[in-house]
Structure 1
Amino acid sequence: MKIAIGIPARMGSTRFPGKPLAQLAGRPMIEHVIEKAQAADLGPVFVATDDRRIADAARATGAMVCMTSPDHASGSDRLAEAVREIDCDVVINVQGDEPLIDPAAIRAVVEPFTADPYLPMATLAHPLRNPDDLFDANVVKLITNAKGRAMYFSRAAIPFPRSGSPNAMQHVGLYAYRREFLLIYPTLSPCEAEQTEQLEQLRVLHHGYDIAVTVGDFHCIGVDTPADLARAEKLLAGS
């Protein structure tokens, strides 16, 4: 099974413009993400971007670069364009704002593909560590079925604690796709739940495709704001 790791990156973040090139421990954040992806040692690493400045920073690390359209609505759409040029069976989507992602998590997200040759997509989750996060809209929760497939993702409290304390799970925003499915993804029409929750993976469930969920003790801290960047800086300094 040929695996490629793609990192979609853009400069136009609403909450943190230019964050891929924000300085973290003296280097652009995108460099840290690329190094984590390379450390997973699964296959070639490429950056999909529409910005020459990001492309230059990526090439300095030895990563491949695929220049894409500036009009993509999501990282999955951007990777779908880029993967047309990549020879692989499975594509891992490592978000460009995950400089502290554990390479072990990157390796874990592809494991379900070895057991199911028809699986279209996979992701990760971990048990909710902070009970208050159940009601935090910035923390995405999910429910799986008996086969370990996602039933729903939500910013709301799921399952709702009507009786007792639920064993809630928190989604980790790391995805893997079979290449054929990733090429189909942009052709799927958006659904109401996706647009309401602002969660692109709900489009996949809406159209009847499976998402396998691997649950483990994963620690991934995304950088969405300058405050998150400062937190990541402290964590790197203490590691």
Structure 2
Amino acid sequence: MTTATGTATKTALVTGANKGIGFAIAQSLGRLGMRVVVGARDETAGSEAAARLVAEGIDASTVRLDVTDDASVAAAARTLDEHFGTLDVLVNNAGISGAFDPVTWEQDPTTMDLDELRRIVDTNVYGVVRVTNAVLPLLRRSSAPRIVNTSSSMGSLGRQPGPVMAAYSSSKTFLNSITVQYARAFADSPVIVNAACPGLVATDFNGFAGDRSPEQGAAPVVRLATLPDDGPRGGLFDEDGVVPW
């Protein structure tokens, strides 16, 4: 684990934070004065991202974290416990789109490969559960713990925006539902859980085809990560407010 010493009073872990929206989320939280931990599967990429944050005066560190691997998640949780003892913000940002048709940008449900669907859900949903449950003891030590799951309006059953992305969109619907269940479980506790939709952000996730910057995409996530104690719970939000799903 690469660490930089600072005076931050709150600690935030962002998964998949070595690039794209995840990096922008970590950067934004760091600029607000939080100590940020860059979770990344690739230790070198994570270290490089943390170094970029440190270069601009942010208290940043990195931890190797593969959300699809039980041992990796458990080891990361132990490292966070040893170094910080508590966690105030968890942003479950790591996610994948899975394979799609490069011409139509679609995932056809009639030809869906089940192994590919399992791979997507393992990252986008099971990974969130793995990480959340592993670091929950650290979050419970915080006076105002916040959990934000990076989701998508493509998981909305009402809006159904964008192309047919049978595997990706379904995984986000699943994630939205899991978010609600966590919020219900934590209803009588200080732990506030929500999901955020960054919008169509230009990153390598979509071949830089988005119309929003990573900083713009990070904004709804950061807002939910810094909610007051009477903030909403169990919702899906984008920059304009509640996303019905």
Q: TM-score, normalised by structure 2?
A: 0.39
Question: Which structure has the higher relative contact order (CA within 8 Å, separation 6+)?
Answer: 1
Higher share in strand:
1
Q: TM-score, normalised by structure 1?
A: 0.40
Higher share in helix:
2
